[in-house]
Structure 1
Amino acid sequence: MILKWVRAPLARCGLQDLHRRPEGPCAPPAPLAETGRLLTNGDGTPAYPLSGVEVLQRALNRCYSAGLTVDGAFGDRTEAALRRAQTLAGVTVDGEYGPATRTFMKWPMYSDATGKVTCQRHGDIRRDL
């Protein structure tokens, strides 16, 4: 089964624009090792949204039924949804988005085999696409 990251900058990570690389705007935001920091409560605001927070919010909505407003602002509701995802993923529950959370939480993925978007752990995604 071939999995692809869901990517659509204009359609806000819908199914309209798919590609095979995990570096697109709908790929999991890169934490610590890649950027030197975490995503945490207080990052981004509705006036100055962060795209990494938007991608995280979309994944929490799609894979964990979080019901968040995708606004790029990491507030209390995003933190609570992330804590729930961390609990379900079996990682340290701290409400901060870092490397372990990225690896073990689920992300929306498109499957050529089924033609559907399913949720997969980042650590399970094939890198040879």
Structure 2
Amino acid sequence: MPGSVQNAAPATVLPQSMCRAFARLQEYPIIENEYRNGESQRSVQSTTSRKRWRLAKRLSPTALEALRDFYDARRGATEPFYFYDPYETSPKFSHDPTGQATAGRYTVRFDSEWSQSVGLGRADVSLELIELA
């Protein structure tokens, strides 16, 4: 069918050392109409939340290099991959590098461009992951 979009088909998994560097955010998408008199009208777009993960800690040079290599291999936000949320895996904080385990596994992509600042011995990187359908 013309105009159809294929579902994301991840081929790899974010390394375990990187899964622990992200903080989780949830948002519930809504449609909001605001009127001139100050009233607003809202309706829910989805019954489930859309999850995001934001890089939450400074990285050592080796962790920075590993993340940058993974980011470049995915061509930035172009290619999807699996991400294991360590709090949702069974048992907790377990990781499946093959991507076969489904507990805590999300199909995600990078949701931002690579941005970094480097200090003495550590690097601050600004990155987000976003859950795909």
- TM bin (shorter chain): under 0.3
- Structure (1/2) with the larger helix percentage: 1
- Give the TM-score normalised by the residue count of structure 2: 0.25
Which of the pair is proportionally richer in strand? 2
Compare CA radii of gyration and give the structure with the larger one. 2
